[in-house]
Amino acid sequence: MILLTGATGYIGSHTWLELLQAGYRVIGIDNFINSSRLALGRIEKLSGQKLDFVEGDVCDEAFIESIFQKYPIKGVIHFAALKAVGESSANPLRYYENNIGGLVTLLQVMQEHDCRHFVFSSSACVYGDPDQSPVKEDAPLRPENPYGQTKLMSELILRDLEKSDARWRVAYLRYFNPIGAHESGLIGEDPLGIPNNLTPLVARVAAGRMPELKVYGDDWETSDGTGVRDYIHVIDLAQAHVKAVGYLLAGRDSLTVNLGTGQGYSVMDVIKAYSKVAGCAIPFQVVERRPGDIASCYSDPTLAEKLLDWKACRTLDQMCADSWRWQSQNPMGYQS
């Protein structure tokens, strides 16, 4: 059985579905700090299976212990974390407590239960402002905000653990920019509060929930002056997790890989693609650059492709079309 933490969140919910479809038994946990319990019914509907789920906090050792006592867990995919970059600068201790505290608690309980297969949600944030793109896994690691620091520190904690006991097997998955939604439109990204990444904002503007999009700078050194990122469809990302957990459970060595398409798209490219699928203009206003933003960052995903026999294949148009289907079928997210 696979333990999924942060199972009702954006990437967790899509990965849960993909794992069930691949035949894995899954126990999901979440404290709903940034997700809705209504996601559970949707995953159940899509999978046609009754879900195993327990509400609780990864920082709560007694809770995690109870999960390991009850379920025969062979591997863990750890999504549970706070992820808002700006908020992490305003309130760093909350981020260190949740993201590092939760990780350490989970690893301690795993160790006591002889469970040493771990898939970790890392991020392109660990590279900070890379010297060049495409970024390879051996690029310098220099995160620029507390959120990114929690991801790098988590990687270091896991690497120390591996050195202390050769039985640990860890997949360090560095995601670039996940967007899109399941093609059914039943599950998708539904952040509580005001979203802080591009496509949920574009989606809300397209749906008329927000008057316009702010574009932070059009004078970057990129083809059209707006920031360039590597967007990856959340289903491609979820499928990489199925591959990664299978890889570790098959007894293979730990691995550190970028998960992206390897293709950079600008903010304007996203606005154009979204506007096409939504059939409306996306009003935007160019404003000052935000401190900490960077011009361009996209991955070299060839190592993941080789080791995991996986490739992100969905296009930007598909990502926007699926995001729009989710948005238009659920104008207020899961509460709709």
Ligand X SMILES: NC(=O)c1ccc[n+]([C@@H]2O[C@H](COP(=O)([O-])OP(=O)(O)OC[C@H]3O[C@@H](n4cnc5c(N)ncnc54)[C@H](O)[C@@H]3O)[C@@H](O)[C@H]2O)c1
* Cα 147 from Cα 261, distance rounded (Å): 23
Which DSSP category does 194 fall into? S
In sequence order, what are the residues at sequence separation of 6 or more whose Cβ sits closer than 8 angstroms to the Cβ of residue 213? 201, 202, 205, 271, 282, 283, 284, 285
Residue from the set 4, 40, 98, 169 that interacts with ligand X by CB under 6 A: 98
* By the rule CB under 6 A, 9 interacts with ligand X: yes
Would you say 82 and 11 are in contact if contact means Cβ atoms under 8 Å apart? Answer: no
CB of 220 vs ligand X, minimal distance in Å: 20
Q: How far is CA 195 from the centre of its chain?
A: 14
In sequence order, what are the residues at sequence separation of 6 or more whose Cβ sits closer than 8 angstroms to the Cβ of residue 315? none
* By the rule CB under 6 A, 33 interacts with ligand X: yes
Residue from the set 27, 59, 171, 244 that interacts with ligand X by CB under 6 A: 59
* By the rule CB under 6 A, 57 interacts with ligand X: yes
* By the rule CB under 6 A, 231 interacts with ligand X: no
Q: In this complex, which beta carbon is closest to ligand X, that of residue 195 or of residue 225?
A: 195
Catalytic residue from among 147, 274, 298, 334? 147
Which residues within the stretch 136-175 sit at the binding site for ligand X (CB under 6 A)? 175
* By the rule CB under 6 A, 18 interacts with ligand X: no
Determine the interface stretch with ligand X among 9-17, 42-50, 239-247, 277-285 (rule: CB under 6 A): 9-17
Which DSSP category does 334 fall into? G
175 labelled catalytic: no
Amino acid at 285: Q
* By the rule CB under 6 A, 81 interacts with ligand X: yes
CB of 15 vs ligand X, minimal distance in Å: 9
* By the rule CB under 6 A, 301 interacts with ligand X: no
Q: How far is CA 150 from CA 93, 157, 177, 292, in A?
A: 10, 10, 18, 16
- For residue 255, give the H/E element and its range: strand 255-259
Would you say 107 and 157 are in contact if contact means Cβ atoms under 8 Å apart? Answer: yes
Residue from the set 3, 17, 26, 30 that interacts with ligand X by CB under 6 A: 30
Catalytic center residues? 147
Interface residue list for ligand X (CB under 6 A): 5-6, 8-12, 30-35, 57-59, 79-83, 98, 102, 121, 123, 175, 177-178, 197
